[in-house]
Amino acid sequence: MSLFTDIRRLFMLSCEDVNDFIVEYLDGTLDDRTRRRFEKHIANCPACSTYLDQYRETVTLVKEEADADVPEPPEELVDATLDFLRQHYDDAAKNGAS
Amino acid sequence: MAPSSQHKPNDPPASGARSASDPLDVEAILSGDRRAFEHLVRKESPRLFRVIVRIIRDDDEAQSIMQETFLQAYQRLDTFRGDAKLTTWIYAIGINQARAALRKKRRTNPMEEADMERLQPSFNKGMYAEPPKEWDPQKMAERSERQRLVREAVDQLPENYRTVVILRDLEELSTAEAADILGISEGATRVRLHRARKALRSILASHFEDRAT
Ligand SMILES: [Zn+2]
């Protein structure tokens, strides 16, 4: 029994391991073997499954808030920037910096 | 602009007529061609402005930081080494200026590293010390309230964590691009993003948890 437990542990990820892997799992950068172990753990562990759902939900909510709050660039943004640049392109040369 | 009658049929379109979707001529930009550079300014201004305003949360300041960014970039083109995309390099200049400005003017006290640590899940022999409680859909239902909580949570993050969330989760840059902009490794970028998201989850959990369970 205890040998069995030890062997099982070798092949199983702990909840802490699973937590560490979440960011790579969602990025799709886990290697196949680790991804399968990750998914197997999630399927059998309510705590990790709930945590992963809430982590995903958090990312979704952050995006939702940002999308609702997209800063509109001022209309004159580009023209004002080009005016600014044309006035200052040669500043460095005048300061003798280049 | 020159009247079109002066155009010979085979002339390329005048620079002013370039549309924002035309590709950047990086070689011309690097050689100091102002028209090519101004095409980049037209093309990238709206997005760069948006990122900067998300960091600094002030339209006027964002605009002036963006203008300084393009000017600095133009004046320092000879230091561009080509190991990142030119636009990534310019974003790095802008974002770093915005971060410096934010640190100077920070209105509210952001959390500190110790607070971030407290908001990470803790484990005991590899298991959750406190398994996550379910979130109550009723507490999450009110949209404007939910958005206010999320905005407050993001605003509380220390600046380096907030910036990585803005780059990865709002601007949806790749880990590699975010790492180039922040000047840290991809691994460090992922660790920082993960810590930020875990902290945000904890803050939201304190509002959304179903206390009955
Ligand atoms: Zn688990």
Q: What is the ipTM of this complex?
A: 0.84
- What's the rounded Cα separation, in Å, for the pair B68 and B87? 15
pLDDT at B61: 94
The one-character DSSP state at B134 is P
State the Cα angle at B11 between B9 and B12, rounded to 5°.
Answer: 130
| Model confidence at B71: pLDDT above 50 | yes
Mean pLDDT of chain B: 88
User: Residue A53, exposed/middle/buried by CB under 10 A (0-12, 13-18, 19+)?
Assistant: middle
What is the percent of chain A with per-residue pLDDT over 70, rounded to a whole number?
82
CA distance A14 to chain B (A): 5
The closest of A32, A54, A82, A23 to B190, measured between CA atoms, is A23
A62 φ, ψ (degrees, to nearest 5): -65, -40
Q: What is the mean pLDDT of residues B122-139?
A: 95
Q: What is the mean pLDDT of residues A58-85?
A: 91
**Within a 13 Å sphere around the CA of B101, how many CA atoms are in the beta-carbon half?**
22
Mean pLDDT of chain A: 87
Please write the tens of the pLDDT for every residue from B6-23: 444 444 444 445 666 778
What is the percent of chain B with per-residue pLDDT over 70, rounded to a whole number?
88
Q: Domains, chain B, ranges and CATH? A: 26-105 (1.10.1740.10), 115-212 (1.10.10.10)
| Model confidence at B203: pLDDT above 90 | yes
Residue B193: its chain A contacts at CB < 8 A? 23
Q: What is the mean pLDDT of residues A22-27?
A: 96
Kindly indicate the confidence band of residue A3, based on its pLDDT and cuts at 50, 70 and 90.
low
The residue behind tokens 């600014």 is A84
Cα(B126) to centroid of ligand 1, in Å?
A: 8
**Higher per-residue confidence, B10 vs B98:** B98
| Surface of B (49-108) touching A: CB under 8 A | 49-50, 53-54, 59, 62-63, 66-67, 70-71, 74-75
Q: Do B128 and A51 touch (CB under 8 A)?
A: yes
